[in-house]
Amino acid sequence: MTHDRNNHDDHAAEQDGPGDVLARLRAMQAGDVPVTGGRTLAYVYDSGLEEVDRVGREAVAAYAGSNGLDPTAFPSLLAMENELVGFTCDLLDAPEGTVGTVTSGGTESVLLAVQGARDSRPDVDRPRMVLPSTAHPAFHKAAHYFGVEVVTVAVGADFRARPAATAAAIDDRTVLVVASAPSYAHGVVDPVGRIAAAAAARGVRCHVDACIGGWVLPYAARLGRDVPPWTFAVPGVTSISVDLHKYAYAPKGTSVLLHRDAALRRPQYFTSARWPGYTMLNSTMQSTRSGGPLAGAWAVVRQVGDAGYLDLTRTLLGAVDRLAEGIGAIEGLHVVASPDASLVALGTDGSCDVFTLTDAMTRAGWLVQPQLSYDAMPPTLHLSPSAATAPHVEELLTDLADAVLAARRAGAVAVDPGVADLVRALDPAALSDDDFDGLLAAAGMDAAAGGDLPESMAEVNALLDLASPALREALLGRFLERLQQPVRAVASTPVHPPR
């Protein structure tokens, strides 16, 4: 967690004039992290091109009320989707016959890839999928939603999936094998060729999750960089996901899921004629589907164009090279894996810790993302720079160097031993409200402290770092539950008085 902002507004739904409403909206938004400017190094991706942003925003607004539910009523949406899918096919070496769908985001693309793989194998009773330990949590979400069992294969010392171990993990129940291009946490591309070959040898689908790298790697290759093969040029790759709302710099809400042929996509379609209303006909998980994101993505991709993306990628990767080099030169820091795409994960030596460093960077006006230790992999700091970060790289490096000095002066973040014991004793399966309240109080995040996130997140992150993955999930779920509370104008009364 990186945020130190928390906005409260008493009444979201009073009758104000349009000017008041929009002024209020802008005032609320001022408390969020900036989505442009290149200093937010996770969650947002900024081309740095004002005209591109403007065109994207206006297209979203123009199509906010359009509904992709019925392509015959909104033929322009179908046309835009087919053009975006075609552009993506060209980018990803897709053979004749490749088809695709625009979805609402990477998670939906992944969910559909897993659902399609499961439903293509009705003969398999208890389906499984084989994932590298670095695969995105969207696959675990798909497993949870669709009842597919996850078989995790630990990555190697280079943070890449291990092909031999992956092949060995495939069995008669396997419906899908996954590789990342690149993985989010460490920014390295898995050996897609050997993994896809192993899947194909067993007649199993292979999905390449290029949600974050799919728009960068093809241009990187064209710029003459060394990019390991990962597209449809690799035999055995059956589907690929690539997000438009990441490095295609489109407004939020679009990703593309490609399948090598129409038969592979077919289980994704859901149609229902089992009611007296319209026959429902869906290619994604949504039914009513705003035309806004699709139009926004179409407009941005048209506006930037192939040559524009080549330029943006040149700028971006130049910044990434300089960043990696500069980080290597800061005593106490190192790049965890040489970036295959645009993502940088950095680690610290014993002289300072990642979580204190994160806070120092937040104070300097950067959003960087701490990554907790996992499966023998130490905690790291994640940076997803954008093209818009390029002009600020020297400042970023200077601030990182200063942050290291500050973190050293502050000393390693210390979790109170009593609190650490409390955490270790908690059972994630039986976490009570009292347990959670006790922990919040111990972490200085209780109601007495205003209920807001504390100024320093280092202690909170260090505390989470001590917790098992299951406990992290339970604690953060509870945390989100506390955040998501209705703002009501009328005081609520309990329907059932407490006994």
Quote the tokens at residue 197.
């070959």
275 burial via Cβ count (<10 Å: 0-12, 13-18, 19+): exposed
Residues 125-144 that bind ligand PLP (CB under 6 A): 136, 138
Alpha-carbon gap, residue 167 to 169, rounded angstroms: 5
> Rule CB under 6 A: is residue 105 a binding residue for ligand PLP?
yes
**By CB under 6 A, which span of 78-86, 204-212, 282-290, 458-466 interacts with ligand PLP?**
204-212
Query: Among candidates 232, 281, 272, 234, which has minimal Cα distance to 99?
Result: 232
In angstroms, the CA 204 to CA 257 distance is: 18
Per-residue x/- mask for ligand PLP, residues 177 to 196, rule CB under 6 A? Answer: ---x---x------------
Enter the DSSP assignment of 250. Answer: P
- From residue 60 to residue 99, the character string flagging contacts with ligand PLP as x (rule: CB under 6 A) and all else as - is ----------------------------------------
In the numeric block, the tokens 């031999």 are attached to 164
Contacting residues for 34 by C-beta, under 8 A, at least 6 apart: 40, 44
Cβ proximity to ligand PLP: between 209 and 359 the closer is 209
> Does residue 114 touch ligand PLP according to CB under 6 A?
no
Member of 212, 320, 354, 474 binding ligand PLP (CB under 6 A): 212
What number of other Cβ atoms are within 10 A of residue 80's Cβ?
24
Binding-site string for ligand PLP from residue 237 to residue 276, where x marks contact by CB under 6 A and - marks none? ------x-----------x---------------------
Instruction: Choose the stretch contacting ligand PLP; rule: CB under 6 A; options: 207-215, 304-312, 432-440, 487-495.
Output: 207-215
The 424-463 site mask, x for binding ligand PLP (CB under 6 A), equals: ----------------------------------------
Largest CA distance in the chain: 71
Near ligand PLP by CB under 6 A, which window of 20-28, 101-109, 326-334, 375-383?
101-109
Any contact of residue 110 with ligand PLP (CB under 6 A)? yes
Q: Does 217 bind ligand PLP (CB under 6 A)?
A: no
Nearest-CB residue to ligand PLP? 106
What residues contact residue 132 under an 8 Å CB cut-off, 6+ apart? 152, 153, 154, 155, 160, 161, 162, 166, 178, 179, 180, 183, 190
Angle subtended by helix axes 458-466 and 354-363, to nearest 10 = 150
Note whether 370 binds ligand PLP by CB under 6 A: no
Q: Give the CA distances from residue 83 to residues 101, 241, 407, in Å, rounded to whole numbers and listed in that order.
A: 11, 16, 49
Write out the residues near ligand PLP by the rule CB under 6 A: 105-107, 110, 136, 138, 180, 184, 209, 211-212, 243, 255
